[in-house]
Structure 1
Amino acid sequence: MNAPSFPITPLLPEIRASLAAQSRLVLEAPPGAGKTTQVPLALRNEPWLEGKKIVMLEPRRIAARAAAQFMAQQLGEQVGQTVGYRIRFESRVSAATRIEVVTEGILTRLIQDDPELAGIGAILFDEFHERHLAGDLGAALALDIQHTLRLDLRIVVMSATLDGERIAQWLDAPRLSSPGRSFPVRIEYPPARTQENVEQHLVRVTRHALQSSEGDVLAFLPGRRDIARVQGMLMQSLPDDVEVVPLHGELSLAEQQLALAPADAGMRRVVLATNVAESSITLPGIHVVIDTGLAREPRFDPNSGFTRLETVNISQASADQRAGRAGRVAEGSAYRLWPQSRRLDVSRTAEIMQTELSGLALELAAWGSAQLPWLDPPPSGALSQARELLARLGALDPQQRITVLGRRMLELGATPRLGAAALRAPETLHALVADLLALMEARSPLRGESSRSDDFRARVAALHAWRDRRSATGSSHGADAGALAAIEQASKGWRQRLNLRSAASGVPDSHAVGDLLAHAFPDRIARQDENNPLRYTLANGRDARLHEQTALMGEPWLVVLDLRHEARDSLVLGAAPLDPRMLEHDYPAQFQRMRNVRWNEERGAVEAFEERRFGAIVLERRSVPVQPEDAVPALLAAIRQRGLDALPWSEHARRLRLRMQSLRAWMPELGVPDVSDAQLLATLEAWLAPYLQSKRKLDALSEDELSQALIALFDYEQRKQLDAQAPDSLTVPSGQLRRLEYTPGEPPVLAVKLQELFGLADTPCVAGGRVPVTLHLLSPAGRPIQVTQDLKGFWERTYPEVKKELKGRYPKHPWPDDPWTATPTHRAKPRGT
């Protein structure tokens, strides 16, 4: 049949010529240009294919089905003939298939199962700008194959919004661009009203758009639950000739096709969609786009070890692509429900930079190398953490090579955690395993009060109750029937993959769910605190708490499946009880006896225990004597925690440190040691540890021992220099010994009565004459008279005034007219003089 004309049609000859001449190409084309469906059809009969097929990667299942169906219609065929698709749990291909549309996980399996890609002549990466982890991995693997095994393999990267120049440099490929077919779109930023949330804002703007414009409305929301709430709000307020249709990845095939079909005659539609509607699929009749500016994307939290979907602001590229949907058939409008002043990121952050990487690490181990031609290489820290998890699950050996279990996990196709749980389960529980795989990968189907339950078994019970009764409408066990139907469909796919003929039903044993999922989350096995029934310690060493209305109260052991990391604590959102006897049987190596030495702050002493542990969970503890070799490290750790003030500093020791610090600053050529707080704390093992031997408490260290430890830092010559250049005291002209006060960074201070300095012309100095002493001149009563470093100037200019003022106040003390020749004294004048 004759193919319709698309904006990309004039560019197709140039695309064919480029791929005939070289093996890689970057193709930029806006939504609606036709790249997804027209490029594969244009390439299917190229001579370089030699009877091989084209595989096109489509990130989303909805888009994969829709693209295959549209191409098959253009050829006048059914899907599964020349054009087919493969997505998770669903395949429509045959021996005649020449164009195969696949989702990301399918492509990775094709490459891993056959690294030479026999029978495949080209791989097309559609919507590459979405930068999904599996897409980045697939592209890196395909390039690796092309460089080493298949020079003839064609690789085409296609997108509506990507950094074409950067992609072309990465691929070392030419770059072609196609115009789109679009009409002007008017952008508006209608402000929210006071106390109006985003859903209420959207409903109000939707009603306005239906009244003020023609055609259908496409509204973008972050997730399925948001869509369900807004759908209910709109259905209560819109006229009967307006149909409200959801569009997201968890819908059944029939529901997805309904959303992609045009409205019936005389009807208008409001399509409520996630970012699945940004690109790749065609929605007919859209004249208005209403955009919340939000999307739900995976974010890995290294603090909790969990990946969760978070609602985030979209990028500018996504905002532009969403708005463009309003200009496909005529002039349109786009309403953005955020302030116009908000600045969006230019493009979406690659998923590889912000998600958990255990699946990627397992794929790389199976491939045999992580040294691939990445566009953005995986972060080394996240990759190391992922490998540690895989080793704990048994998927990697100590040399980080993939094990037999690891390869079986890849074949199963579940995430590494869930794959480990499924493959370790006894065959009698495989039907329950299929349900758990489906439930763990889906959002909770529980609604209302039931949605607050932190007992994961409630979700299993709801699924089994729904399955046993086959309730087609309404809710079951406080659960959403539509959500349960989608979970059942996924469970059916897992049952097929596990070669099961029947589904689980009824109520499982109370520990069955937890015992199975413990193999997925061995690091999150948790034991109840003896003193607080709401608190638990996890095997990974972290602490968590149950909320006050928990359904798990009293359970001594849990496996924690979902956790919200918080500043002070972590809150358990989902968990299941387990039988600790299972741990003895399945994880004997995780049980260890060890000696634990620690500082008891309350007692101010080192104490020792012998502990039996499962991971970081202490199962038994008994007090044992502290060994000498154990005490010193614990004491040093306590000092580092509490600071140097925890030590018994005498006045002599404190003054000694100040002199040492001052001498180091004044005479660096002497090379005296650094005795600052930071340096002393960093070198406790060298200078203090020898004086802590045989001690259990810090207060057992005497003041004299601390002084000895400090002075031992200086060798003999440095001690001589310390006494000579930074003396503890000076002998003044009266013959008395007066103490110097040292402060690092300042000259030393000598506080002395004025009469004791008679006859002294020059200010005393330290540090070989480099640093003049600061004199605090005192009255006979010891009160300050003058602060100076210029004694000569004091005698010449200031003394006469001081004498005049103080002679009458202190008549018993000498006040000579000539202080230069007077006899210094620390006493009053003798009687009768």
Structure 2
Amino acid sequence: MTPHDAFPIASLLPDIRRSLAEHPRLVLEAPPGAGKTTQVPLALLDAPWLDRRTIVMLEPRRVAARAAAQFMAKQLGEAVGETVGYRIRFENRISAKTRIEVVTEGILTRMLQDDPMLETVGAVLFDECHERHLAGDLGLALALDVQAGLRDDLRIVAMSATLDGDRLAKVLDAPRLSSAGRSFPVRIAHFAARRDEALEHQVKRAVEHALAGHPGDVLVFLPGQREIGKVQALLADLAAAAAVDVLALHGELPVEQQSRVLQPAEDGRRRVVLATNVAESSVTLPGVRVVIDSGLAREPRYDPNSGFSRLDVVSIAQSSADQRAGRAGRVAEGWAYRLWPESQRLEPQRRPEIAQVELASLALELAAWGSDALRFIDAPPTGAMGAARDLLQRLGALDAGRAITPLGRRMLAIGTHPRLAAMLLSTDDDVETALACDVAALLEARDPLRATPGSGRSDALAARWQALAAFRGGRTPAEASRSSLQAIDAAAAQWRRRLRCTAKPPASVPAHALGDLLAHAFPDRIGHRHGSDVRRYPLANGRMAQLFDDSALIGEPWIVACDLRFEAKDAKVLRAAPVDEVRLRRDFPTRFSDRDEVRWDDGRRALVAERVQRFDGIVLDARPAGRVDPAQAAQALTDAVRTLGLDALPWRESLTQWRARVRCLCAWMPELALPDLADDALLASLDAWLKPAFAGKTRLDALSEDDLGDALKSGIDWSLRQRIDALAPTRIVVPSGMERKIEYAYDAAIDAPQPPVLAVKLQELFGLADTPHVADGRVAVVLHLLSPGGKPLQITRDLRSFWERTYPEVKKEMKGRYPKHPWPDDPWSATATHRAKPRGT
């Protein structure tokens, strides 16, 4: 058993206990090797405030969760599942005796949703907060909400090696403690790639260099399983010749293989461990003296233009690079080789997933929680949350008011992405449920098919399922990976157990069977063949998708796409399945419609009335209809403006000025509570202010300037309009007795009003000492002082200063040029005029 004081964090443990006795939250910073993951939970077990309740520690990765629980149990001289246990997806190692539960992120969220009081839990520890996974951020936000509203005695600890501790401490309103680490010096070098050299070959050279020049084991960080496989194949000969073990470490490995990597080699052989960023933190790899870092990771990214998420290979953050390098200095002096140019600059910190992934799961969790007013480290983006809620409505998880439905609650209990949950719950037939479990396992897994020379990969989901069915029958197709199919088969079995499905998966299915289920997961990506191009498919979400020339799906009337790649024109269908229209009409009857519609035809600049048959956003048939319905016409014209923009309306100068005056007064005098007349606000509220003005009209140009003015001003009552005219007058009487125009402007680029401008001949202001003001004296008018010929002489907001300092020079220059106009020595007392001097004077 390893004593507590063998770890650098030991000296800080009394401070941690003391802080949590006095304050319910704590931010703990401790570098890799300090022992925070395994020593802090054990140190808190006998805390008086815990009162024999459970400590729950969130560990983002399954490998790390198992390893942490096993290490703590070993320290106590027990087996996992006694005092210390763990819960991860499809695996539960806890008992009635368990007081420290190490859980992964999704498990913690379920615990909070199922029992917000957490009556048996005294503390929740969030390890590796810097990884900023979506589920981890949500779990922290939910725990903070529970603490604030239900359990003020609940302790929350946020722990990490590389987080922005000061910022997080401010967000949590928590004390911050920092621990020293245990590390030896690590020499860092950049191992340059050769010209046009693939990553796997650069890694091979770096590994050979490390084995030849340094002692100890080598840890190689690679983006994902695919790259690990390539490097492993290249190192096969080296491993045999040099008696070196080449081992993989990633989240998809069986437990036994993961455990082998985390243990030292019994025979003393050197090891090369090829790992994803699972090895960045929380797990200890004994014997590592050299780190080779590709500087890459495979992370989810969300494209807001397409609405699709995908895993991209991206450059890591500097904080991750530092943490990876530190792995070489855990047992002795080490070396870190970075496979990117020294001149390349990395982002300081990892970007949070909440800012770059699809948010349907988060939106469903918040709907179930009943509030989205939570304390997130970074708030979810508004646009992504709107798109997520739209999807959940399509899936039936949210109602029209965006409240969670009974189906939505059942989907949440499934514990997977809402798309897959909707599919798994879409049928009551046991055999279909077993097939749905297969489809879910296929969608969650990496593609089991390899690309074949000359033909690439099939885009048919059916080809994957048929390979799975063949594997179950004892035959693995040549183009398929046996290990991948084995993992998919195991995952499908887990899903059947989860759903209590006793039926065996079928050995064969009709052509449309997969697509009929998949349509419930991707109702927005159901597509119908284009009338003039058999490769193009309008989708239910209004987008367009296209098959590849060699697609196995060409000719199918209906498809559903589960994998799309966004491109500038059409999305490319990477994987899909055919759908039976009869089944679509049975499962989605409300999505089919047959009704008269009126739309704006931009080419003809007119409304078109049609009898339209639709499936969701797909037009199946459209034929000319009769007379245009007035209500539909008003809506169609309003929608046309929404598409064409506000410039399509008949703005006259006086109305443009009125709008600018209102916008300026909004900024100058917010207490007036005037409506927002910015472009975005007007476009968002077209139905409220513009649509009534189109009543009885069938053409866009039938809207007159007066109609537009009445519509724009409709939200402001008469008395407030009078105040606008008084506070921001369009004209002002100058000392000459003439009325002169004031121009107003609002700069949308900087979202700020510009000073009002009064252009007036200098002679008309004789006798006026101070600059005129508007907005109840708050805003000075900018005076554009003009010559008798109307040319600019001076621009000023300080008339008094102009008369005192600048006027004598202007008078000297202008008197000879305009001798017929007055240029008095004393402009303060001179009579203002808009005319030349009378003859003879």
| Aligned counterpart, 1:81 | 82
| Aligned counterpart, 2:147 | 146
Deviation of the 1:441 alpha carbon: 1.2
Looking at CA atoms only, which structure, 1 or 2, has the larger radius of gyration?
1
Q: Structure 2: which amino acid aligns with 1:465?
A: A
- Give distance in 1, aligned partners of 2:444 and 2:184: 40
1:369 equivalent to 2:374? Answer: no
Deviation of the 1:170 alpha carbon: 1.9
| Secondary structure of the structure 2 residue equivalent to 1:518 | helix
Deviations along 1:295-347, whole A, 9 cap, x unmatched? 11111222222211111110000000000001111111111111111111110
Where does 1:261-660 land on structure 2 (aligned, <5 Å)?
A: 261-428=263-430, 429-449=432-452, 452-469=457-474, 475-476=476-477, 478-598=479-599, 607-625=608-626, 627=628, 629=630
Q: Structure 2: which amino acid aligns with 1:7?
A: P
Where does 1:112-123 land on structure 2 (aligned, <5 Å)?
A: 112-123=113-124
Judged with a 3 Å threshold, the aligned counterparts in structure 2 of structure 1 residues 637 and 539 are, in CA distance, closer, same or farther, namely closer
Which is further off, 302-311 or 329-338?
302-311
Q: Structure 2: which amino acid aligns with 1:552?
A: L
- Give distance in 1, aligned partners of 2:174 and 2:30: 16
Contact preservation (8 Å) 1:58, 1:103: yes
Which is further off, 133-142 or 596-605?
596-605
Judged with a 3 Å threshold, the aligned counterparts in structure 2 of structure 1 residues 16 and 426 are, in CA distance, closer, same or farther, namely same
Deviation of the 1:607 alpha carbon: 3.7
| Secondary structure of the structure 2 residue equivalent to 1:619 | strand
| Secondary structure of the structure 2 residue equivalent to 1:571 | strand
RMSD: 4.0
- Give distance in 1, aligned partners of 2:195 and 2:245: 29
Judged with a 3 Å threshold, the aligned counterparts in structure 2 of structure 1 residues 236 and 363 are, in CA distance, closer, same or farther, namely same
Deviation of the 1:398 alpha carbon: 2.4
Judged with a 3 Å threshold, the aligned counterparts in structure 2 of structure 1 residues 691 and 30 are, in CA distance, closer, same or farther, namely closer
Judged with a 3 Å threshold, the aligned counterparts in structure 2 of structure 1 residues 695 and 182 are, in CA distance, closer, same or farther, namely closer
Deviation of the 1:118 alpha carbon: 1.6
- Give distance in 2, aligned partners of 1:707 and 1:11: 74
Judged with a 3 Å threshold, the aligned counterparts in structure 2 of structure 1 residues 539 and 633 are, in CA distance, closer, same or farther, namely closer
Deviation of the 1:442 alpha carbon: 1.4
- Give distance in 2, aligned partners of 1:590 and 1:184: 64
Segments of 4+ moved more than 4 angstroms: 598-606, 628-647, 684-687, 689-698, 705-710, 767-772
Judged with a 3 Å threshold, the aligned counterparts in structure 2 of structure 1 residues 81 and 523 are, in CA distance, closer, same or farther, namely same
Contact preservation (8 Å) 1:547, 1:571: yes
Judged with a 3 Å threshold, the aligned counterparts in structure 2 of structure 1 residues 646 and 187 are, in CA distance, closer, same or farther, namely closer
- Give distance in 2, aligned partners of 1:237 and 1:7: 38
- Give distance in 1, aligned partners of 2:355 and 2:86: 29
- Give distance in 1, aligned partners of 2:611 and 2:49: 71
| Aligned counterpart, 1:817 | none
Q: Structure 2: which amino acid aligns with 1:466?
A: F
Deviation of the 1:451 alpha carbon: 6.0
Deviations along 1:192-229, whole A, 9 cap, x unmatched? 11111222211111111111111111111111111111
| Aligned counterpart, 1:782 | none
Deviation of the 1:276 alpha carbon: 0.5
| Secondary structure of the structure 2 residue equivalent to 1:67 | helix
Q: Structure 1: which amino acid aligns with 2:375?
A: P
Deviation of the 1:138 alpha carbon: 0.9
Deviation of the 1:291 alpha carbon: 0.7
Q: Structure 1: which amino acid aligns with 2:459?
A: D
Contact preservation (8 Å) 2:317, 2:349: yes
- Give distance in 1, aligned partners of 2:2 and 2:538: 67
- Give distance in 2, aligned partners of 1:109 and 1:212: 49
Deviation of the 1:501 alpha carbon: 3.5
Contact preservation (8 Å) 1:185, 1:332: yes
Deviations along 1:279-308, whole A, 9 cap, x unmatched? 000011111111111111111222222211
1:97 equivalent to 2:121? Answer: no
Mind listing any 5+ residue stretches in structure 2 that lack a counterpart? 662-678, 709-758, 760-785, 792-816, 818-841
Q: Structure 1: which amino acid aligns with 2:39?
A: Q
- Give distance in 2, aligned partners of 1:404 and 1:360: 17
Which is further off, 629-638 or 89-98?
629-638
- Give distance in 2, aligned partners of 1:706 and 1:96: 79
Contact preservation (8 Å) 1:60, 1:276: yes
| Aligned counterpart, 2:216 | 215
- Give distance in 1, aligned partners of 2:123 and 2:465: 43
Judged with a 3 Å threshold, the aligned counterparts in structure 2 of structure 1 residues 605 and 93 are, in CA distance, closer, same or farther, namely closer
| Aligned counterpart, 1:12 | 13
Which is further off, 263-272 or 492-501?
263-272
Which is further off, 168-177 or 28-37?
168-177
- Give distance in 2, aligned partners of 1:691 and 1:68: 68
Deviation of the 1:639 alpha carbon: 10
Contact preservation (8 Å) 2:541, 2:617: yes
Which is further off, 429-438 or 311-320?
429-438
- Give distance in 2, aligned partners of 1:379 and 1:603: 39
- Give distance in 1, aligned partners of 2:706 and 2:65: 78
Q: Structure 1: which amino acid aligns with 2:434?
A: A
| Aligned counterpart, 2:245 | 243
- Give distance in 2, aligned partners of 1:171 and 1:641: 43
Judged with a 3 Å threshold, the aligned counterparts in structure 2 of structure 1 residues 695 and 365 are, in CA distance, closer, same or farther, namely closer
Deviation of the 1:528 alpha carbon: 0.5
Q: Structure 1: which amino acid aligns with 2:100?
A: I
- Give distance in 2, aligned partners of 1:372 and 1:598: 42
| Secondary structure of the structure 1 residue equivalent to 2:511 | coil
Judged with a 3 Å threshold, the aligned counterparts in structure 2 of structure 1 residues 383 and 218 are, in CA distance, closer, same or farther, namely same
Judged with a 3 Å threshold, the aligned counterparts in structure 2 of structure 1 residues 57 and 267 are, in CA distance, closer, same or farther, namely same
- Give distance in 1, aligned partners of 2:423 and 2:212: 54
Judged with a 3 Å threshold, the aligned counterparts in structure 2 of structure 1 residues 154 and 532 are, in CA distance, closer, same or farther, namely same
Deviation of the 1:600 alpha carbon: 5.5
Judged with a 3 Å threshold, the aligned counterparts in structure 2 of structure 1 residues 603 and 415 are, in CA distance, closer, same or farther, namely closer
Deviation of the 1:366 alpha carbon: 1.4
Q: Structure 2: which amino acid aligns with 1:376?
A: D
Contact preservation (8 Å) 2:222, 2:277: yes
Deviation of the 1:708 alpha carbon: 14
| Aligned counterpart, 1:169 | 170
Q: Structure 2: which amino acid aligns with 1:452?
A: R
Deviation of the 1:71 alpha carbon: 0.9
Deviation of the 1:278 alpha carbon: 0.3
- Give distance in 2, aligned partners of 1:694 and 1:370: 42
Contact preservation (8 Å) 2:307, 2:387: no
- Give distance in 1, aligned partners of 2:205 and 2:313: 22
- Give distance in 2, aligned partners of 1:706 and 1:147: 56
Contact preservation (8 Å) 2:637, 2:694: no
- Give the total of aligned pairs: 697
- Give distance in 2, aligned partners of 1:505 and 1:271: 40
Deviation of the 1:185 alpha carbon: 0.7
Judged with a 3 Å threshold, the aligned counterparts in structure 2 of structure 1 residues 143 and 641 are, in CA distance, closer, same or farther, namely closer
Mind listing any 5+ residue stretches in structure 1 that lack a counterpart? 648-656, 670-677, 711-744, 746-766, 773-792, 794-833
TM-score normalised over the length of structure 2: 0.76
Contact preservation (8 Å) 1:251, 1:486: no
Deviation of the 1:420 alpha carbon: 0.9
